[in-house]
Amino acid sequence: MNDPVALTEDQRDCLQEVVNVAMGQAGDSLARFLEVFVNLSVPRIRLVSRNELGGELEELVGGAGTNVSGVSQGFYHVDDGSGIRGEAIVVFTDSSFKEMADLLAYDDELNEAGERELLMDIANILNGACLTGIGEQIEKELAFSSPSLLGQHIPIGSLLEHEKLSWGHALLVEITYTLEDRSFTCTMFLLMPGESIEVMKGELDKLLEDF
Amino acid sequence: MSIPLLICDDSAMARKQVKRALPEGWDVDVTMATNGMEGMEAIRSGKGEMVFLDLTMPELDGYGVLDAVKSEGHKSIIIVISADIQPEARERVMGLGALDFIKKPVDNKKLTEVLNKYGLL
């Protein structure tokens, strides 16, 4: 393949394992926060074009009719702005809030401001642990900006409407956390634009050289 | 005689990582499996007296393998090697009959320590 952003099978496998280890750390942080066991699933990695992204995301959360709330956090390599960068997006299905209010023993149902606060807290927890975990493995310190709200209770297709998507292709890394016997789904997406994928590929090759 | 050792993980890199972490000179006959279903097939055909087992895998996950090994009555010694660092994940696999739990990424030192702890070397 001549496409500079396409991953080889080895690179995809390597990234999946790097994300798997980071996901384990993030899942543990979420479990401690909610005081419950978190089910992890195999992370999924795909290269998507800008046009495909909306459809991909809809499929991931269970169709276009599913309403979600989401938070986005930019991440970048600390040393220079030209290396690895992207957006880490945390999305909750609507039913997840009731479960969280229950788990965290809130007296009443969460109002919109309460939900927003919870969203920001959990995005910080998950993104922090996951990006730190990925950074440790590729030996690059990843920093991240403060979380910003993408929207509450809206169809996932419109969640990214206002994002400045200045890329043609992006690497979509999907990590899903679920809870047993509870209608809770939290999905984390890492979106990396084209030039950043090329840098990431170089880092993965370095890791692969060790084997 | 070499010990039939099964490495069961969906990631090629993770399998290599485990293989590279094996103590030098340890007389094992290594079989690789890329998911729990393949892992069970190997165990049923006697290739998994010892098993290094991942938890999050497609088809059949590590918990499913531990369940199946128990219900089918295989005597495999199973050490879980997983990125799921929740204390409860460890408790669960130990409850399902795993000998021990090693956090990913695995290296020679960690693996040797655990094998020594149980006198397996």
d(CA A127, CA A22): 10
Is A1 a domain residue?
A: no
Task: Please choose, from the candidates B83, B95, B75, B18, the residue with its C-alpha nearest in 3D space to the C-alpha of residue A129.
Answer: B83
Domain count, chain B: 1
Chain A CB contacts of B11 under 8 Å are 13, 16-17, 20
Domain count, chain A: 1
pLDDT at residue A101, rounded to an integer: 86
Residues in Cβ contact with A168 at an 8 Å cutoff, skipping those fewer than 6 apart? A49, A50, A194
d(CA A90, CA A7): 24
Q: Inter-chain contact A21–B83, Cβ cutoff 8 Å?
A: yes
Residues in Cβ contact with A150 at an 8 Å cutoff, skipping those fewer than 6 apart? A69, A70, A71, A72, A89, A159, A160, A162, A163
A16, A37, A207: residue with CB nearest B88 = A37
Band the pLDDT of A162: cuts 50, 70, 90.
low
Pairing mode, strands A85-93 and A67-77:
antiparallel
Chain B: closest CA distance from residue A165 (Å)? 31
Q: Inter-chain contact B12–A10, Cβ cutoff 8 Å?
A: yes
Chain B: closest CA distance from residue A44 (Å)? 11
Range of the domain at B12: 3-117
Is A3 a domain residue?
A: no
Burial tier of A1 (Cβ tally within 10 Å: 0-12, 13-18, 19+): exposed
Alpha carbon of A90 to those of A143, A156, B10: distances in Å? 17, 12, 25
pLDDT tens, residue order, chain B (121 aa): 899 999 999 999 999 999 999 999 999 999 999 999 999 999 999 999 999 999 999 999 999 999 999 999 999 999 999 999 999 999 999 999 999 999 999 999 999 999 999 999 9
Q: What is the pLDDT of residues A88-142, one digit of tens each?
A: 999 998 888 888 888 888 877 778 888 999 999 999 999 999 999 999 999 888 9
Is A2 a domain residue?
A: no
Residues in Cβ contact with A6 at an 8 Å cutoff, skipping those fewer than 6 apart? A47
Is A87 a domain residue?
A: yes
Q: Are A158 and A70 in contact (CB under 8 A)?
A: no
Chain B CB contacts of A37 under 8 Å are 86, 88-89
- Report yes or no: B16 at the A interface, CB cutoff 8 Å: yes
Is A34 a domain residue?
A: yes
CA angle, A200 as apex, B104 and B109 as ends, to 5°?
25
Range of the domain at A67: 9-209
Q: What is the pLDDT of residues B22-41, one digit of tens each?
A: 999 999 999 999 999 999 99
Residues in Cβ contact with B98 at an 8 Å cutoff, skipping those fewer than 6 apart? B53, B66, B78, B79, B80
Band the pLDDT of A1: cuts 50, 70, 90.
very low
CATH number of the domain within which B82 lies: 3.40.50.2300
A21, A27, A38: residue with CB nearest B105 = A21
What is the DSSP-derived secondary structure letter of residue A145?
A: P
B11, B13, B86: residue with CB nearest A38 = B86
d(CA A35, CA A168): 40
CATH number of the domain within which A119 lies: 3.40.1550.10
Cβ neighbours of B22 (radius 10 Å):
18
- Indicate whether this model's pTM tops 0.95: no
d(CA A56, CA A116): 25
Alpha carbon of B51 to those of B13, B69, B85: distances in Å? 17, 11, 19
Query: Around A164, how many Cα atoms within 13 Å sit in the side-chain half-sphere?
Result: 3
